[in-house]
A and B are shown apart, each in its own frame.
Chain A
Amino acid sequence: MTSLKQYKEQYINQNIQFVLIDQEGTILESDQTFIELNLGDYIYELHPFFATYSAFLDISDETMTYNCVHLEFNEKEFITDVKMMKKGKLVLLVIYNLTGHYNSYQQIAQARNESIINSELVVLKNLELEERERFKNAFIRNFSHELRNPLTSIISITKLLEGSKLNNEQSQMVDFLKESNTNLKLLLDDIMSISMIASGKLQLRNKIFSLISLLELIDFTYRSKTNGGAIRFKMDYDKKIPEFIEGDRLRVFQVLTNLLDNALKFTEEGTITLNVSLNQKRANKVSLRFEVSDTGVGIPSEKTNAIFESFIQLESEGKKEGAGLGLSIVKGLVGLMGSEVHVKSELGKGTTFYFDITLTYALDLASKPIDRAKKKNPDISKLKADKKYKVLLVEDDERTQMVLFKTLMDTNFFYIDLVNDGALVFETVINNSYDIILMDVDLPNVSGDQITKLIREFPFKNIKKIPIIGVTANVFEESIEDYLSLGMNAVVTKPFDFDELLNTMVKFLK
């Protein structure tokens, strides 16, 4: 029968080796438990670790322990604890073979360190992606901002051209020009929308509006667009849905028209359907499902996620119009409305996009305002026919100057003074008597918003009360709110429609 002592020798003593060396490092004795050492050899020549014995001899400590030392002998590695003890003029080395124990620890340390490093790398990667996204959005914002000035000029000059004497061919060319301008403006608006959504700067402006009127407008628009073609447009809505709801009419319209335009782009023939159904009504909340279906080419299943990315277009029989922003805007806007857009599609049969949104609806219908499309034509009848209004145009862009100058003069209602430097505005305002100021914001020397602030702080009423209309390429809502808070009466963003500007002016002229 095996004795306890034998077990001890088998399991413990096999892993502890005793070695005795002298002060020169010569091996005097070794019990050869797991490392074969030749007596008479220098221990530091067998492994560089043992060279440290000489440093041990130089200190006063009688014992020194080294944990987790990797020792290689005859191509075999041991992970050991090594204890050095001074024994008179000799040094006793006790080497504990803890390879198994330390290998387990190594696995734990490996998992822990990898996890920490991976977490750090994920954080760094996210920071990098955020930085890239910020840079991209800033670039897009600046780029589209810079495009607005020339586009304003192009639109305005086209308007002037349209009003001049043209032959048929020239009229047709102007029509093409107008359509291109509209497309370019819409594209710029799309780019701006996606940039604002991505940077979190787009905020919904919820107001009560007639959902039914909005749907009728869409119905009319898309029936007109598909009239006489191979595609039929069909709109249907549940009669139980409330007429008035509280939401951002413009953005609901943008989502639905983007989905419908997308359907038109990828459908050769068949039907495009907009369906609005009622999920449920509870208290003054209503959940609605909006669904746009087409009988178009369909989307491969592996691409149903990619279509919502910015600037992604699916190639389909040469149809590659647009910048690939429409669905990305839809995703962003529906997300802002607290929902998610879904897609079902079958190649060659068609696609359905749908989303559910919960909205507040007006219980007291009669008392709620109806948000109808505003009349666009300027109501110049409000202006005094026998009066010439004196306008100060503050604008440094020569093309915009020329266009505004000419279009305002053509109405026969205005005298116009022009200033193109922010530093000269205040003096001009004090020395003259203006009925209204059209104020660009990005001006040399002093910005338009700061001039406005100065004018509003002026002590004389006839100066401080002059209506000021900001004319700017900066379309950010927060910037516009800043301009208004500094004293501008209204802000018109470039590229603007001249009728829109005139309408705004009429509002403030006496």
Chain B
Amino acid sequence: MQKSKKIVILGHFGVGKTSLIRRFVEDSFSDKYKVTIGVHITKKVVEVNADESVSLIIWDLEGTDEVQMIRQAYLLGTHGVVFVFDVSRPSTFQNLNRDLEIVAQKTPDTPLIVVGNKKDLVINDELQILLKDNGIKADYLTSAKTGDSVNEMFTHLATLLNDLS
């Protein structure tokens, strides 16, 4: 039986939310940055085990540097949240823990995955130091450009949501 699960992708602008979705859904990538306004919604069916699959309805929300301003309507009926930051731009994760608290308030009892994207732009050792220095615990470090850990992240979330329902 196929279940339908709505996930929203949040984070500051330019962190690569749309690129992560494009890599996951279409397995493609473009270096050209196109600002997302409002919301784009796509769907992808993910097999979570031999017998079950989950239809992920992915809401790609306009990036904002003020998480508090996210429209509540967009979050209605959300089953899971992915919060993305850009590991190469400190402004996108300097207030990450505060942002995550706000997201948790806006989507209570909803699984949340924290993703550091654009890992291809930084040296891993330096990245680990950077995360430690900023007190950040990222669930996944991804690269939409190379595809590194992108499928794993979405599949993990789909499995989690399937198990919870």
Contacts and interface: CB of A to CB of B under 8 A. Distances in A.
Contacts of A7: none
B98 interface: no
Given A67-B71, A113-B14, A124-B89, A52 B39 contact: no
B38 A102 contact: yes
Interface in B57-108: 57, 62-63, 71, 73-74, 76-77, 88-91
A64 interface: yes
B109 to A, nearest CB: 15
B37 A64 contact: no
Contacts of B39: 49, 66, 68-70
Contacts of A4: none
A116 B35 CA distance: 12
Q: Is the interface of A mostly helix, strand, loop or mixed?
A: helix
A52 B74 CA distance: 9
B38 A69 contact: yes
B76 A59 contact: yes
A120 interface: yes
Interface in A107-130: 109-110, 113-114, 116-117, 120-121, 124
A170 B52 CA distance: 92
A70 B90 CA distance: 30
Interface in A46-89: 47-49, 51-52, 54-56, 58-59, 64-70, 79
A226 interface: no
B73 A70 contact: no
B43 interface: yes
| The 8 residue pairs across chains A and B that have the minimum distance between CB atoms | A68-B38, A55-B77, A48-B43, A110-B35, A49-B41, A48-B57, A109-B35, A70-B40
Interface of A: 47-49, 51-52, 54-56, 58-59, 64-70, 79, 102, 105-106, 109-110, 113-114, 116-117, 120-121, 124
16 contacts: A47-B41, A48-B42, A48-B43, A49-B39, A59-B76, A66-B73, A66-B74, A67-B71, A68-B37, A68-B38, A68-B39, A70-B39, A79-B37, A109-B37, A124-B89, A124-B90
Interface of B: 4, 6, 13-14, 33-35, 37-43, 57, 62-63, 71, 73-74, 76-77, 88-91
Given A54-B77, A79-B37, A124-B89, 18 more contacts: A51-B4, A52-B76, A64-B73, A64-B76, A67-B71, A70-B39, A79-B38, A102-B37, A102-B38, A106-B37, A109-B35, A109-B37, A110-B34, A113-B13, A117-B14, A117-B33, A121-B89, A124-B88
